[in-house]
Amino acid sequence: MFVDKVKIYVKGGDGGNGIVAYRREKYVPDGGPAGGDGGKGADVVFIVDEGLRTLMDFRYQRHFKAERGENGRPKNQHGKSREAMEVKIPPGTTVTDEDTGKVIADLTEHGQRAVIAHGGRGGRGNSRFATPANPAPEIAENGQPGQERNLILELKVLADVGLVGFPSVGKSTLLSVVSAARPKIADYHFTTLTPNLGVVETDDQRSFVMADLPGLIEGAHSGVGLGHQFLRHIERTRVIVHVIDMSGLEGRDPYDDYVTINEELEQYNLRLMERPQIIVANKMDIPAAEENLELFREMLGDDAPDIFPISAVTKKGVSGLLLKIADKLETAPEFPLYSEEDIEQRVVYKFEKQEDPFHISRDDDGAFVIEGHGIETIFKMTDFGRDDSVKRFARRMRHMGIDDALRERGAKDGDTVRILNYEFEFVE
């Protein structure tokens, strides 16, 4: 089964917890704090494997959770940091954050790596908090939570040339003739249900990859028919080969077919029309085809792109077509799918307004709800089993301005304050 779009969940490993410990050795008086830090959680890393051709594996495993870091130990021993969790994906995969719509990575080359979800740092042990004023602190941090993401993976096949056209115009037959690919061929519409790839070699020993895409129909860009599912696969191609049934046996007008398909390509993505396009007049072995080709040339006028009459069945004209495609590829530029600023993995320095560390709302039961990435991270990293850690958390809330913000919202002594699923009392 060919799978080219999936939704998955990934989570970087949580950091290990720091611990509260003291040096306890014979003949060593006044042993100080000796709690080690926790280890870093594992990152989730996507790595391109050219042996894969589909996202089928992600149909069966949709959750990827990396290993958490090891907890700290006594005697200032740090916990072990975990090795990255590697997930193999096929070349041509675009990774998008479902919640923000931001493209995280566009992975095309074998061995290319991208960190998709970062592991959390380890929590600090109590030896990190020792000061002259407090030489024996009872404070240790929990590990930082790993990054969580809901992702959309889209496979956009790596092909130099894309065959487009209405169903049953002979795209699959052409691919089977010029390459070793063996797509299903039958005399009914939508025989091709998945993209097929083939390596083509010309008479002068040049080669390129050609993709046969499912047939398009009017409205494909908006979800009509099968073609809309696979239009994404033409985005990486540098040359478009537009195959037209010039015989008219289906009862369609070749010129109308040409205009309709180009409108679908333009509606889907305007940059598709920037690519060089070669028109292939197929089925020229049928008597009516010559007359239809003359009418087609007249309606296109002088500004028409290259037109190559061929018969995929008899192979007449196919060799010349392949040489022309190879010539076009030598001068056709690359068409990057995304600008550098669109991809999160790129480092782009620009001013962005800092996100508020918290915001306050009211629940139906009257409780004050504090939300925000900053305060929630601090909350998760606090060990509420120790008084010193609780006091430190209260100081940090006060320093962030949460106490004053609650008073402005009308909080009074004894009111309920909620962070995540935990409740506290507001105390003046």
What residue numbers does the annotated binding site for Mg(2+) cover? 172, 192
Which residue is listed with tokens 């010539």? 327
Give the Å distances, CA to CA, from 115 to 15, 84, 298. Answer: 16, 9, 54
Q: Are 324 and 279 in contact (CB under 8 A)?
A: no
Give the residues across from 117 on adjacent strands: 44
Q: In what order do the strands lie in the sheet with 44-48?
A: 85-89, 44-48, 113-117
Q: Which two tokens stand for residue 336?
A: 């990057």
Quote the CA–CA distance of 71 and 123 in Å, as a whole number.
8
Binding residues: 165-172, 190-194, 212-215, 282-285, 311-313
Give the Å distances, CA to CA, from 415 to 351, 367, 391, 425. Answer: 39, 7, 19, 6
Check residue 286 and report its DSSP letter: S
Q: Are 393 and 378 in contact (CB under 8 A)?
A: yes
Give the Å distances, CA to CA, from 76 to 19, 131, 138, 388. Answer: 9, 16, 15, 20
Check residue 129 and report its DSSP letter: G
Quote the CA–CA distance of 97 and 116 in Å, as a whole number.
10
Q: Which two tokens stand for residue 97?
A: 């954050």
By C-alpha distance, which of 345, 277, 268, 283 is closest to 306?
277
Binding residues for GTP: 165-172, 190-194, 212-215, 282-285, 311-313
User: What is the chain's percent helix, strand, coil content, to nearest 5?
Assistant: 25, 25, 50
